[in-house]
Amino acid sequence: MKLKPFQMPQSVKLEDQRGNTYGKFVIGPFERGFGTTMGNVLRRILLSSIHGVSVTKIIFENAFHEFTTIEGVKETVTDIVLNIKKIRFQMDEEMDDKRVMMNIKGPKEVVAGDIALPAGIEIVNKDLYLFTITKAVSVKAELVIEWGRGYLQAQYINPDKNIKSIQLDAFFSPVKRVVTTLESMRVGQRTDYDKLILEITTDGTITPENALKQSVVILKGHTDVFEVGDKKLPVITEEFEDDNVLKMRELLSKKVTDLELKVRAKNCLETNSIETLADLVVKTRDEMLKYKNFGRQSLSELEDKLKELGLHFGMDVNKYFKKEND
């Protein structure tokens, strides 16, 4: 059976980024429908299967369970535990599960950054409020930090041998939000291909780019079980063009008469065979001022019109018309 060629995605572009917590990716082009398929798969993996670390157990020196209080501490043990669960840890990938000792003396308003950590472990949200010690006492506890993925209820976490151990529901996933959007994309003369826009928000313990890479590794791993031999999928080799290039080409192809210029500027452009915006923007300011009957007032008028369109004099337009000139 001879398969018809498929249009395969040719690029993954990081279109927007805000620190280590937000990334907007544009992927395509996909055959119609495949954008939805890939978007759903990647979103599922990103939200449920990216590895992270979380506190799974807490052992307080002077508290046997969470339904009690600690002398000299404003909050109950339950409140302290709920606040500690919000700490987002970043741990070196080669490190195994760790036990961290917390020993804080009061009086003091305690935040996550007050916890002393060994090398290889960091707290991202250091300003997170934990509890307040109102007296000259110490709060000592052992935190068990484990690797995992997704969400795991306390009942499924391996119990600790210490009878004072408080088991926690653990949220390991570093990915907080994933938004998928589909738009049409042009390849050659066809405009019905899919463009997948993927917006990933993390807690800062992993970058959106690394989260996306990890999700693709997981996806590929789940397809290795299928034996296909040396059969290869035929693909369409026609290159696609970026939407921004197409939009700019369309804009630059417009007639200068659409600018609604004053008579003097309009006549000057016609006299010098400047018909399109592309013809105009390749000129420099000095070149324009050399034209007969074209002064600085006309130049200022044109600059204002071009600025409104996001254009300016002295532009290189070759990259926008390269495809047509080849």
The answer to whether position 233 is within a domain reads no
CATH number, position 133: 2.170.120.12
Q: What is the pLDDT of residue 83?
A: 95
Mean pLDDT of 217-240: 75
| Cα distance between residue 46 and residue 212, in whole Å | 7
Q: Give the confidence band of 174 by pLDDT, cuts at 50, 70, 90.
A: very high
Alpha carbons 93 and 120: distance in angstroms, whole number: 9
Owner of token pair 């498929």: 6
Residues 293, 203: one domain? no
Give yes or no for residue 237 having a pLDDT over 70. no
pLDDT in tens, 118-162: 999 999 999 999 999 999 999 999 999 999 998 989 888 888 888
Separation between Cα atoms, residue 107 and residue 177, nearest integer Å: 38
Asked whether residue 265 carries a pLDDT value surpassing 90, the answer given is no
Q: Look at 246 and 69; give whichever has higher pLDDT.
A: 69
131 in a domain, yes or no? yes
215 and 275 share one domain = no
> 41 burial class (0-12, 13-18, 19+ CB within 10 angstroms)?
middle
- Read off the pLDDT of residues 15-55 as tens digits, 9 standing for 90 and up: 999 999 999 999 988 889 999 999 999 999 999 999 999 99
pLDDT greater than 70 at residue 235: no
H-type helices in 104-242, by residue range?
Answer: 208-221
Q: Which of 8-12, 237-241, 304-308, 312-316 has the lowest average pLDDT?
A: 237-241
How far apart CA 54 and CA 86 sit, in angstroms, is 9
Q: How far is CA 243 from CA 12, 131, 174, 260, in A?
A: 14, 52, 32, 27
pLDDT for 137 equals 92
- Please check whether residues 143 and 210 belong to one and the same domain: no
Backbone torsion region of residue 215, taken as left when φ is above 0, otherwise alpha when ψ lies between -120 and 50, otherwise beta: alpha
16 and 69 share one domain: no
Residues 217 and 252 occupy one common structural domain:
no
Same domain, 72 and 127: yes
Pair (137, 275) in one structural domain: no
* Average pLDDT score over residue span 184-213: 90
Question: In this predicted structure, what is the pLDDT of residue 322?
Answer: 60
What is the extent of the structural domain holding 207? 11-50+175-221
231 — pLDDT class (breaks 50, 70, 90)? low
Within-domain flag for 4: no
114 and 253 part of one domain: no
CATH number at 247 reads 1.10.150.20
Inform me whether the pLDDT recorded for 109 exceeds 70. yes
Rounded distance between C-alpha atoms, residue 208 and residue 214, angstroms: 10
Question: Where residue 210 sits, what CATH number does that domain have?
Answer: 3.30.1360.10
